[in-house]
Each structure stands twice: as C-alpha cells, then as structure tokens.
Amino acid sequence: MGEFVGLEVADGVGTIRLDRPKMNAISFQVQAELRAAAAEASERDDVKAVVLYGGERVFAAGNDVKEMAELSYADMVTLSGSIQSAVTAVAGIPKPVVAAITGYALGGGCELALAADVRFAADNATLGQPEVLLGIIPGAGGTQRLSRLVGPSKAKDIIFTGRFVKADEALAIGLVDRVVPAESVYDEAVAWAGQFSGAASLAVRAAKESIDRGLELDLPSGLEIERLQFAALFATEDRSTGMQSFVDNGPGKARFGGR
C-alpha cells in the first residue's frame, strides 16, 4: 500500500485505488505508486482482473501541474519517462483492466483511463486532454492511445482544442464503453471484472497480448503473434480441461485452474 495508491483484492478482483485529496492529481509519487500497484496486480495469482478507481467524486483530474510548473526542459528530459512509464505499467497488466470513471478524468487522468482495456463512466463524468491549454501536449500516451481508440480526427479535435468530453459524447465516439448512474459505476466495473475469477487466465492473457501487440504491427505480423499464442495454449492444463469439458458437457461448464 502506497500513501496515495493502493491495491485491494476481493474475490479475484484487484482494485487499484487512487486516493490523493482533493482531485487525485497525479504527482511523481503517485506515478511511482501506480507502477508498484500495477506490478503487484500483475504478479499476484489471486488477482484475475483489475479495476482502476479514484473514488466516488473524481477519477483523476490530471497530472500535478504545480509540481511540474517550475521544471525546466532539462528536468523534463529526465522525468518525462517516469510520467509515461506509470501509465504504460498499467496498460501492461496482463489481465483484464476496467476503469471506473467518476467525475473528472482529465489530462493524465484520461491517459490513465485510456490504459485500461475497457472504460465504464458515470453519467456525470467528464473526460478530456486539455494539456494544450497549458502550452504542452499529452505526455503519458494520450496522443497515441486516444487516436488508436477513437480515430485520428476525433483525437485531434479533442487534443487540439483541449475541450471537455461529457459521458454521452464519450460513449458515442467510443472513448468509453458503458455509461451508468454515478452511484453504480464502481459496482458495474467490479461485476465486469468478476466474471474472470474463474476464467482460463492464461488464455485471457494470450488474447490481451495478441490484441495489444498486434495493433502495433502490420496484419501479417499480428497474425503470426496470434498463431504462436494459439499454439502455445495447447501446452496448458486449462486447454485440456476446457476441451474435455466441452466434449463431455457442452460449452461454458469448464472449471479452470489457471495452469
């Protein structure tokens, strides 16, 4: 448990919880604690899926501007890797990750949400990449992940203008995957993550790696990644269990051990 970021585990679901009053500003300390929480969630066998959550009021209103305001170019040449690597660590968790977005997810907070596999937003949530209004650009993956998610023209509109995106528009353009009442967003995210508690975790991991790595490459290279991951799963106990269960009992009845 860090001072501002913790990992809580229940019934196979790990919640990475940001708690830095008042607005969960992402400082360099928060970045370090996010990297540690992501590493722990990745390593723990009792964590089958992860929820990113900032509490009932706000997801994360951005990076800590006060902390960055006095930094020079030379400082940021050194420190920009830390900013980016915290979000990359979350994106690299080899398990399903869902962001439960309440209130504001702006700047670095939006970039953190973009690192999740899916995003559930409260009906009063607001997202955006307003860095240009500070004279900078997103530096923790926003220019890359947002454009891959919603397409380059929509990403350029959001990033160039720095405008805020309300939940209904975010759903319409694919920035979020589900909009629910504010009081339900965390429970909905936990329910989605909970469905993986008995899943074939090595197969889920292989699927995530195939999709994420394949998106970075041309189609033939992506297909080769898929082929290798597909073949490798025939060395797992879960593959034997799943196929035998299908033969004996039909689909959807297998009990997997994660091996």
Q: Is the pLDDT confidence value at 1 over 80?
A: no
Strands of the chain (E only): list them.
Answer: 5-10, 13-18, 49-53, 97-101, 104-106, 118-122, 126-128, 164-166, 178-180
High-pLDDT (> 90) share of the chain, %: 83
CA atoms within 13 Å, Cβ hemisphere of 215: 10
pTM: 0.93
Domains and CATH numbers, the chain: 5-194 (3.90.226.10), 201-249 (1.10.12.10)
* pLDDT tens, residue by residue, 15-24: 999 999 999 9
Pairing of strands 126-128, 164-166: antiparallel
* DSSP state letter for 154: H
* pLDDT tens, residue by residue, 105-121: 999 999 999 999 999 99
pLDDT at 152: 97
* pLDDT tens, residue by residue, 68-99: 898 999 999 988 888 899 999 999 999 999 99
* pLDDT tens, residue by residue, 144-160: 999 999 999 999 999 99
* DSSP state letter for 118: E
Which residues are registered as beta bridge partners of 17?
6, 53
Q: What is d(CA 225, CA 214) in angstroms, rounded to the nearest whole number?
A: 7
Give me the amino acid identity at 124. N
* pLDDT tens, residue by residue, 185-197: 999 999 999 999 9
